[in-house]
Amino acid sequence: MILVTGGAGFIGSHTCVELLDAGYEIAIIDNFCNSRPEVLDKIRTITKKDFKFYEADLLCREKVEQIFEENKIDAVIHFAGLKAVGESVSMPLEYYNNNITSTLILCQTMAKYGCKKIVFSSSATVYGDPASVPIKEDFPLHTTNPYGATKHMIERILTDLYVSDNEWSIALLRYFNPIGAHESGLIGENPNGIPNNLVPYIARVAVGKLECLSVFGDDYNTPDGTGVRDYIHVVDLSLGHIKAVEKVMATTGAHAYNLGTGTGYSVLDVVKAYEKASGKKVNYKIVDRRPGDIAMCYADPEKSKRELGWEAKFDLERMCKDSWNFTINNM
Ligand code: NAD
Ligand code: UD1
């Protein structure tokens, strides 16, 4: 059985669908601090399969131990964590406690029950402002905010764990910019309040809930002056987790993998693609740069292709189409 922490969240829910479709038995732990219980039924509807669910906080050691006591967990996919960069700057202690303490409790419990295989949700944020693109896994790591620091530290903790005990098998998955939704339109990304990230914001403008997108800067050293990112369909990303689970089940070691497409798109490219997919006008205005943003970030996905046998398949048009389908069904 695979334990999925944060399985009710955006990426976790899509990964649970792929795990169930691939025939895995799963248990989910989530405290719904950034998700909703309805997602669980939607996963059941899509897959026509059932799974165990624990509504609990990973910070609660007794509950985590109970899960390992009641189930034979073969591997863990660890999504649970807080992820808003701006919020992490204003609430660093919550971020360090929630993300790092919960990982320590999880790993201590795994060790106690002899489960030493883990796939961890890291982020391209660990590369900071890279000296060049595309970014390879051996580029230097550098983080500039508490959220990024938690990802960097957890990578370090897990790597040290492997050094101390070579029976561990650890995949550190560095996600680029996940967007899109399941093709059913049942699950997707629906942040509370005003979205921080580009595509959820564009979706709300297209559907008429927000008036105008602010494009953060058009004076970057990029083809059209707006920021360039490696947007990846959340279903492709989820399939990367299936490959990573297969890998950690078959080997030992601690390895980092980029999960990106290898292609960079600008903010204006995404606006255009979304307009095409939705048939709606996306109003935008150029405003100042957002502090902390970088010009360009896209992956070299070669290592993932070579070592995991994984490669992203969906293009930007499909990402926007699936995002729009989810938006009109849920907003
Ligand atoms: P999400 O917020 O949708 O999902 C996280 C889930 O974890 C939520 O359901 C939340 O309720 C749960 N959770 C958080 N803290 C918990 C705790 N202490 N105990 C139990 N459950 C808890 O986020 P997501 O976009 O699905 O991201 C999943 C992971 O991937 C996160 O670790 C995030 O930092 C990382 N990541 C996300 C992105 C992105 O753009 N979405 C990019 C890079 C990395
Ligand atoms: C953000 C996080 C990063 C995290 C990643 C994936 C910040 C500073 N960084 O990255 O740590 O790993 O999400 O979740 O929050 N943009 C606009 N207008 C908007 C929103 C965004 O122009 O309203 C632009 C940004 O300047 C950027 C691009 O769109 O060029 C993508 O932004 P966003 O979706 O927030 O992702 P990142 O900044 O890449």
pLDDT of res. 227: 98
Integer-rounded Cα radius of gyration of the chain: 19
Q: In whole angstroms, give the CA distance from residue 189 to residue 232.
A: 13
Bridge partners of 54?
29
Find the catalytic residue in 147, 220, 265, 298.
147
pLDDT of res. 282: 98
Structure tokens given for 203:
């979706």
CA angle 8, 24, 237 (to 5 degrees): 55
pLDDT of res. 16: 99
244 lines ligand 2 (CB under 6 A): no
What is the average pLDDT score of the chain? 97
pLDDT of res. 317: 98
- How far is the centre of ligand 1, averaged over its atoms, from the C-alpha of 8 (Å)? 9
- How far is the centre of ligand 2, averaged over its atoms, from the C-alpha of 294 (Å)? 9
Q: What is the DSSP letter of 36?
A: -
Are the beta carbons of 255 and 158 closer than 8 angstroms? no
Q: What is the pLDDT confidence band of residue 190, given thresholds at 50, 70 and 90? A: confident
Q: What is the DSSP string of 253-283?
A: EEEEEEES-S--EEHHHHHHHHHHHH-S---
Question: Percent of the chain, pLDDT > 70?
Answer: 100
72, exposed or middle or buried, with CB in 10 Å at 0-12, 13-18, 19+?
exposed
243, exposed or middle or buried, with CB in 10 Å at 0-12, 13-18, 19+?
buried
Phi and psi at 304, nearest 5°, equal -65, -40
For residue 232, count other CB atoms closer than 10 A to its CB: 27
Atom of ligand 1 nearest to the CA of 124: 43
The bound ligand whose nearest atom lies closest to the alpha carbon of 144 is 2
- For the segment 49-75, the average pLDDT, to the nearest whole number, is 98
* Digit-coded pLDDT (tens) for 24-55: 999 999 999 999 999 999 999 999 999 999 99
- How far is the centre of ligand 2, averaged over its atoms, from the C-alpha of 110 (Å)? 34
197 lines ligand 2 (CB under 6 A): yes
**Which residue has a Cα nearest atom 33 of ligand 1?**
83
- How far is the centre of ligand 2, averaged over its atoms, from the C-alpha of 308 (Å)? 27
pLDDT of res. 240: 98
SS3 141: coil
- For the segment 150-162, the average pLDDT, to the nearest whole number, is 98
Residue 331 pLDDT greater than 90, yes or no: no
- For the segment 11-27, the average pLDDT, to the nearest whole number, is 98
- How far is the centre of ligand 2, averaged over its atoms, from the C-alpha of 305 (Å)? 25
pLDDT of res. 247: 98
Structure tokens given for 312:
């992203």
Residue 21 pLDDT greater than 90, yes or no: yes
267 lines ligand 2 (CB under 6 A): yes
- For the segment 149-163, the average pLDDT, to the nearest whole number, is 98
284 lines ligand 2 (CB under 6 A): no
Residues in contact with ligand 1 (CB, 6 Å cut-off):
6, 8-12, 29-35, 57-59, 79-83, 98, 102, 121, 123, 175, 178
Q: Is 95 a catalytic residue?
A: no
CA atoms within 13 A on the CB side of 42: 24
* Digit-coded pLDDT (tens) for 219-256: 999 999 999 999 999 999 999 999 999 999 999 999 99
- 């295989």: which residue's tokens? 117
Q: What is the DSSP letter of 125?
A: G
* Digit-coded pLDDT (tens) for 91-110: 999 999 999 999 999 999 99
The bound ligand whose nearest atom lies closest to the alpha carbon of 78 is 1
- For the segment 164-175, the average pLDDT, to the nearest whole number, is 98
Shortest CA distance to 47 belongs to which of 20, 81, 85, 87?
A: 20
pLDDT of res. 191: 86
* Overall pTM > 0.85: yes
* Digit-coded pLDDT (tens) for 256-266: 999 999 999 99
Residue 141 pLDDT greater than 90, yes or no: yes
Atom of ligand 2 nearest to the CA of 147: 11
